[in-house]
């Protein structure tokens, strides 16, 4: 079985993220970047599926992003992915969620996949739009927000997380499945894994090689447009009191004054 | 006929608050645009939803209670909306920016080859153009964005608008569901309720009371639940508390949890790491209780108490009860 994991490169979660004043896209210069933490869950799930089926499957990581995303690709390979496909092209810069999904879907026409796993969201854009849109572009079913995944003969069964529990669903393969945090405990790359990653194949594809229409990607091809942006003004530090046995009462005073009580 | 459409977010006819927030804003925008508002109700339970929808003033409700919406996943809604859009050509379609609805509008956008604005917290007309405000990077940046395609698909975050009633007697039109072969390829086998939902969802609540590692264990969360109930709020948690297994991770607030923006956020025994702040710093009012005066949470709170939460919170609960009784 061919298992593909959609993986994104994102700025380190501890980094202050900002937009580039010129083209209003995420400024990635000088920011540590990492593999999207949510995608580690997707990759871990892929590796577990492979292992539970005797290890004969192939796990491919598919990432769209600039050259500097190789760090994230290496991380995925050192965790245990067999190979990677890196879609990079100068025209991709500034793609919104729909344009990104379109590019990934085009790439998936070249990369065989019986099941496509993704994170439920990326920690930078956090739209959660990409997995379902990839499925739609490919004419495949999507089961998103899975907290349990089971692969059977030609089907995948998942538990989709809800506020009160879950929805048990089944889809015919091939299908797109996105997973939530907590579905598993992603492994750390072992020393052996890190060494092995160095010789694993990374295939680079550009827009032409996946037959993507350049007018549908990048800043110009995206159907959403950022008009302006503003850093949020820092919050003013308010009053901080020390509890002298009356902390609860003082807090109640504040809440009442603000009409919460 | 052009128009502004609102996809009603509901559970078997129990209409979520975000739906009436969207209906309120849709009505205001439609007035400026000189257009009509249609509420679109897909799924079972319209009788239950009927009165509440009408109270928020749509001109019309499009209804399909076909069981296919409960039996299959996402695509039947997309198929049905696509067919309705073709017939009627509305200008704007709004849905709630929450997990399952995001899938519907994401697929719809992909199918139509249009864009979608997600996580919108405000929506205005500027020179006839619809402009959405999006709070990005956990509220660190505010972005104004617009769509270059039509129909304009917009996902609105809960708590973005204040619901205002404007009772109407909308025309009710029953429509039929459309389901493609693709729509039948993903089925719902069952729904499992693991915990009764006694409180509002963390993302929708006007008040969120969150606990962190300072709570020391799951027991102290009972105390926060009591406080949340007194304030009509939800309970949240930091990642440290969730990772320790003290509270379900669906309640985690932060960069890898939910982003909340309630009227009141209370951080109890939470230090205020950047990843936590990314999920709550756009809250209107922030209150913190922490025994460490240097805790970073104090630098962003409107009111803070330096002290032992096991003394301050019981004191607060007692005081609220007393004042409510009085
Ligand atoms: C990739 C990544 C993603 C992350 N995502 C998230 C996320 O989504 N959400 C999130 O919350 N964190 C997230 N984190 C973790 C974050 O960095 C912090 O570790 C976490 O928020 C700390 O939780 P805490 O404040 O509960 O615990 P601590 O930092 O340990 O703080 C506990 C606080 O409780 C106070 N305290 C202790 N006892 C008492 C008492 N009796 N009375 C009063 N105060 C007391 C202490 O003074 C302290 O300030 C993420 C981290 C990483 C690396
Ligand atoms: N540039 C990308 N390359 C590969 N996968 C991506 C990319 N962007 C998003 N994804 C996938 O889509 C998921 C949801 O991302 P998002 O829709 O941005 O919140 C991520 O967890 C990834 O699995």
Query: What part of B 81-140 touches A (C-beta under 8 Å)?
Result: 99-100, 102-103, 105-107, 109-111, 113-119, 131, 135-137, 139-140
For residue B273, the model assigns a pLDDT of 96
Q: Which tops the pLDDT comparison, B1 or A92?
A: A92
The pLDDT assigned to A22 comes to: 83
> Hey, are the CB atoms on A261 and B323 less than 8 Å from each other?
yes
Burial (Cβ within 10 Å: 0-12, 13-18, ≥19) of residue B184: middle
Which residue in chain B has the smallest CA separation from A96? B115
Lowest mean pLDDT among A163-167, A244-248, B6-10: A163-167
Q: Report the 3 state secondary structure along A9-33.
A: EEECCCCCCCECCCCCCECCCCCCE
In chain A, pLDDT over 70 holds for what percent of residues?
A: 99
Task: Name the residue with tokens 């072969």.
Answer: B181
Q: Does position B5 have pLDDT exceeding 90, yes or no?
A: yes
Cβ(B284)–Cβ(B260) under 8 Å?
A: no
CA of B212 to the centre of ligand 1 (A): 6
Q: Is B244 on the interface with A (CB under 8 A)?
A: no
B47-83: pLDDT as tens digits:
999 999 999 999 999 999 999 999 999 999 999 999 9
Backbone angles phi, psi at B4, to 5 degrees: -110, 125
Residue carrying the six token digits 């997995």: A131
Residue B178 neighbours by CB distance under 10 Å: 19
State the pairing for strand pair B303-306/A239-242.
Answer: parallel
What value does the mean pLDDT take over residues B1-9? Answer: 90
Pairing of strands A58-64, A2-6: parallel
For chains A and B, CB pairs below 8 A equal 279
Q: Which residue of A13, A145, A235 is in closest CB contact with B99?
A: A145
Looking at residues B264-281, what average pLDDT do you find?
96
Chain B residue closest in CA terms to A103: B110
Across the range A68-86, mean pLDDT stands at 97
| pLDDT above 90 (res A163) | no
H or E segment to which residue A195 belongs? helix A191-197
Residue among A3, A4, A6, A126 whose CB has most ligand 2 atoms within 8 A, to mutate? A6
Q: Which of A123-127, A257-261, B91-95, B100-104 has the lowest mean pLDDT?
A: A123-127
A207 token code pair? 């827009």
pLDDT: is A163 or B304 the higher one? B304
- Residues A137-154: what's their mean pLDDT? 98
Whole-model pTM? Answer: 0.90
Question: CA-to-CA distance for B167 and A65, rounded, in angstroms?
Answer: 50
Mean pLDDT of A124-137: 95
**Predicted confidence band at B253 (pLDDT cuts at 50, 70, 90)?**
very high
Would you call A253 exposed, middle or buried from its count of C-beta atoms within 10 A (0-12, 13-18, 19+)? Answer: middle
Tens digits of residue pLDDT in B155-164: 999 989 999 9
Does residue B142 carry a pLDDT above 50? yes
Q: Find chain B residues with C-beta within 8 A of A102's C-beta.
A: 110
The larger pLDDT score, comparing residue A234 to residue B71, is at B71
Structure tokens at B288: 């913190």
Which protein residues touch ligand 2 with a CB less than 6 Å away? A 6-8, 36, 38-39, 42, 62-65, 97, 100, 104, 118-119, 121-122, 125-131
Substitution site in B286, B290, B300, B314 for ligand 1 pocket (most atoms within 8 Å of beta carbon): B290
Of all protein residues, whose CA lies closest to atom 50 belonging to ligand 1?
Answer: B275
Q: Which of B17, B77, B81, B99 to mutate to test the interface with A (most CBs of A within 10 A)?
A: B99
Is the pLDDT confidence value at B326 over 70? no
Within 10 Å of residue B224's Cβ, how many Cβ atoms? 24
User: What pLDDT, in 10s, does the model give residues A2-43?
Assistant: 999 999 999 887 777 778 888 888 877 767 889 999 999 999
Contacts of A14 in chain B (CB under 8 A): 274-275
- Decide if pLDDT at B1 tops 60: no
Tell me how close the Cα of A41 comes to any Cα of chain B, in angstroms. 12
Alpha helices in chain B (DSSP H): 17-33, 46-55, 68-71, 75-88, 99-112, 220-231, 239-243, 274-277, 309-325
Pick A251's closest partner by Cβ from B192, B281, B316: B316
pLDDT: which is higher, B198 or B125: B125
Question: Mean pLDDT, chain A, as a whole number?
Answer: 95
How many Cβ atoms sit within 10 Å of the Cβ of residue B30? 23
| pLDDT tens digits, B100-120 | 999 999 999 999 999 999 999
Residue nearest to atom 18 of ligand 1 (CA): B273
Q: How many CB atoms lie within 10 A of CB A112?
A: 12
Is residue A236 over pLDDT 90? no
| Distance in angstroms (rounded) separating the CA atoms of residues B69 and A246 | 54
| Distance between start and end Cα atoms, chain B | 55
Which residue's CA lies nearest to atom 6 of ligand 2?
A: A8
DSSP annotation string for B217-285: STTHHHHHHHHHHHHT-EEEE-HHHHHTTSS-GGGBBSTTSB----SEEEEES----HHHHTTTTT-SE
């Amino acid at each position: 079985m061919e298992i593909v994991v959609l993986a994104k490169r994102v700025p380190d979660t501890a980094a202050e993220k900002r937009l580039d004043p010129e083209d209003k896209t995420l400024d990635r210069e000088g920011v540590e970047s990492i593999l999207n933490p949510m995608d580690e869950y997707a990759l871990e799930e892929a590796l577990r599926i492979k292992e539970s089926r005797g290890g004969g499957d192939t796990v491919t990581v598919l990432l769209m992003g600039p050259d500097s995303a190789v760090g994230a690709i290496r991380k995925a390979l050192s965790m245990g992915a067999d190979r990677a496909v890196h879609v990079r092209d100068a025209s991709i810069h500034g793609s919104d969620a729909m344009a990104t999904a379109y590019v990934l879907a085009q790439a998936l026409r070249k990369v065989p996949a019986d099941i496509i796993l993704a994170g439920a969201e990326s920690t930078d854009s956090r739209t959660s739009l990409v997995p379902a849109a990839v499925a739609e572009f490919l004419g495949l079913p999507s089961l998103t927000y899975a907290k349990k995944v089971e692969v059977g003969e030609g089907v995948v069964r998942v538990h989709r997380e809800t506020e009160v529990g879950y929805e048990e669903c089944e889809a015919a393969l091939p299908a797109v499945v996105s997973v939530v945090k907590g579905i598993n405990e992603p492994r750390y790359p072992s020393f052996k894994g890190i060494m092995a990653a160095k010789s694993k194949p990374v295939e680079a594809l550009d827009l032409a090689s996946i037959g993507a229409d350049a007018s549908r990607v990048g800043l110009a091809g995206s159907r959403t447009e950022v008009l302006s942006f503003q850093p949020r003004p820092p919050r003013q530090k308010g009053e901080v009191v020390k509890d002298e046995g009356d902390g609860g009462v003082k807090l109640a005073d504040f809440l009442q004054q603000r009409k919460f009580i | 006929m052009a128009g502004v459409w609102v996809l009603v977010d509901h559970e078997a006819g129990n209409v979520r608050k975000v739906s009436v927030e969207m209906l309120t804003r849709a009505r205001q925008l439609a007035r400026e645009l000189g257009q009509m508002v249609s509420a679109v109700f897909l799924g079972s339970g319209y009788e239950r939803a009927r009165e509440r929808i009408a109270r928020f003033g749509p001109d019309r409700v499009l209804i399909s209670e076909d069981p296919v919406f409960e039996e299959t996943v996402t695509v039947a809604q997309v198929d049905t909306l696509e067919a309705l859009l073709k017939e009627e050509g509305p200008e704007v379609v709004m849905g709630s920016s929450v997990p399952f609805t995001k899938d519907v509008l994401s697929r719809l956008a992909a199918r139509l080859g249009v864009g979608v604005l997600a996580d919108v917290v405000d929506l205005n007309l500027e020179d006839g153009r619809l402009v959405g405000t999006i709070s990005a990077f956990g509220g660190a940046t505010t972005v104004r964005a617009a769509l270059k395609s039509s129909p304009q698909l917009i996902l609105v975050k809960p708590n973005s608008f204040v619901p205002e009633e404007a009772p109407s007697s909308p025309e009710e039109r029953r429509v039929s569901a459309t389901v493609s072969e693709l729509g039948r390829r993903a089925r719902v086998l069952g729904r499992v309720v693991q915990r009764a939902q006694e409180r509002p969802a963390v993302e929708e609540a006007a008040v969120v009371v969150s606990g962190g590692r300072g709570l020391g264990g799951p027991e102290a969360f009972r105390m926060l639940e009591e406080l949340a109930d007194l304030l009509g709020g939800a309970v949240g948690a930091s990642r440290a508390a969730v990772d320790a297994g003290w509270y379900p991770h669906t309640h985690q607030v932060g960069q890898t949890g939910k982003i909340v923006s309630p009227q009141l956020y209370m951080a109890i025994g939470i230090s205020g790491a950047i990843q936590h702040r990314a999920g709550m710093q756009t809250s209107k009012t922030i209150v913190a209780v922490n025994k460490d005066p240097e805790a970073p949470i104090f630098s962003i709170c409107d009111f803070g108490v330096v002290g032992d939460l096991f003394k301050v919170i019981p004191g607060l609960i007692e005081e609220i009860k007393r004042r409510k009784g009085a």
